[in-house]
A = this chain, B = another copy of it.
Amino acid sequence: MFGDFFTKQMNELDFIKLVGRFFPSATTSGEGIGDDCAVIPISSGESLTVTTDMLVENVHFRLSTTSPRQLGHKSLAVNLSDIASMGARPIASFMSIARPSALTDKWYEEFIEGYHELSERYRVPLMGGDTTSADDSLAISVTLLGTTAPDHIKRRSAAEEGDAVMVCGTLGDSAAGLYALENGLEGFESLKKAHLEPSPLVEEGLWLGGETGVHAMTDISDGVAKDLRQICDCSGMGAEVELSELPLSQEMLELCDIHGLDPEKTALCGGEDFKLLFTVKESEAKMLCRRFKETFGYAPRRIGRMVSKAGIGWLKDGIGCDKEFNGYIHR
């Protein structure tokens, strides 16, 4: 990167690499390339987990397709998902907002209502923030703190060879919902909602944090293709994924069918699902699914296993296929 002064715009990964050169702490214990949250030990029995996410108008959302209430909800939801993916409990949020003059008082009131509603659901108070005017785009940055027992922390690097690869929730609904919104499609309300008002798996993450059989975990924000690759790379191994086992919703399959989209690609490469991807000791996988289902009313789906060979092998009914999937690319 530093040899190329003709490159005008740095992409996200280049910027993270630049930060990592100055602050190794940001990419090893921090969120940059490593985990979803930074982990800071605060006492012998407790660690703090910290995550921060920024949403910018016309990059992450359009005011024409999201309501203020939905945007308030989503600003907190994306951070709750990061805390959940570490096996931690959210305790306090902080919000900075740059406010353009075009939005009304009523808009901001509904925005805060949406944020408040989700805060109440998980009893996470907003404890401070900053507010400023903006010349053009609305920008929202939320920082969320969580706590967890140090031995409950689930890192991307902790997968073990032979682990089952599991997913909580269905895949690709958010990407399909975004497609429906951007193309002005009627219906597909649950897909649109999955995109505009994602439900972070806060309780599930906390529960999985307490399971010693669960090794690595991350939330699915960039698509399984990219997020599982992160687990593979951080853990120094690879994975095999059975495409016929991907958990797909009926509505997502319908949209893909009608509009000629590849459901596997939508499921594996779409962004912003905010579901959980984890690996669990193979011998404990079945029992864990049963106990999980007793608690939450649905079971995680086993989609593959961790293997020694690097990279991800995609299988169709047990046979390797030459499909290639890449994750969501952030601007």
Spell out A's residues near B (CB within 8 Å).
Answer: 1-2, 4-5, 7-10, 12, 14-16, 18-19, 22-23, 25-26, 29-32, 37-38, 40, 42-43, 46, 48, 50-54, 56-60, 91-92, 94-99, 101, 103-106, 108-109, 112-113, 115-116, 119, 125-137, 139, 141, 143, 145, 147, 330-331
Contact = CB atoms under 8 A, between A and B. Distances in A.
A59 B126 contact: no
B59 A25 contact: no
B127 A30 contact: yes
Contacts of A108: 10, 15, 18
B127 A26 contact: yes
Contact of A23 (B5, B119, B143): B119
Contacts of A136: 135-137
Given A40-B145, A116-B22, A96 B126 contact: no
Nearest to A330: B132
Given A23-B125, A26-B129, A139-B141, 12 more contacts: A7-B105, A9-B101, A10-B108, A22-B126, A38-B127, A43-B43, A50-B92, A52-B128, A132-B331, A136-B136, A136-B137, A139-B139
A35 to B, nearest CB: 9
A129 B19 contact: yes
A73 to B, nearest CB: 13
A48 to B, nearest CB: 7
11 contacts: A10-B105, A15-B131, A31-B128, A32-B128, A42-B42, A50-B143, A51-B128, A54-B139, A57-B135, A139-B139, A139-B141
Question: Which residue, of A2, A19, A108, A113, has the highest number of chain B Cβ atoms within 10 A?
Answer: A19
Contacts of A58: 135
Contacts of A15: 97, 99, 108, 131
Nearest 7 Cβ contacts at the A-B interface: A31-B128, A30-B128, A141-B141, A54-B96, A25-B125, A38-B127, A133-B331
A109 B18 contact: yes
A4 B131 CA distance: 21
B131 A12 contact: yes
A12 B241 CA distance: 51
B10 A113 contact: no
Given A50-B94, A94-B38, A99-B15, A31 B129 contact: yes
A108 B31 CA distance: 19
Nearest to A120: B22
Contacts of A98: 54, 56, 59, 137, 139
Contacts of A59: 98, 132-135
A46 to B, nearest CB: 7
B29 A132 contact: no
Contact of A131 (B16, B29, B130): B16
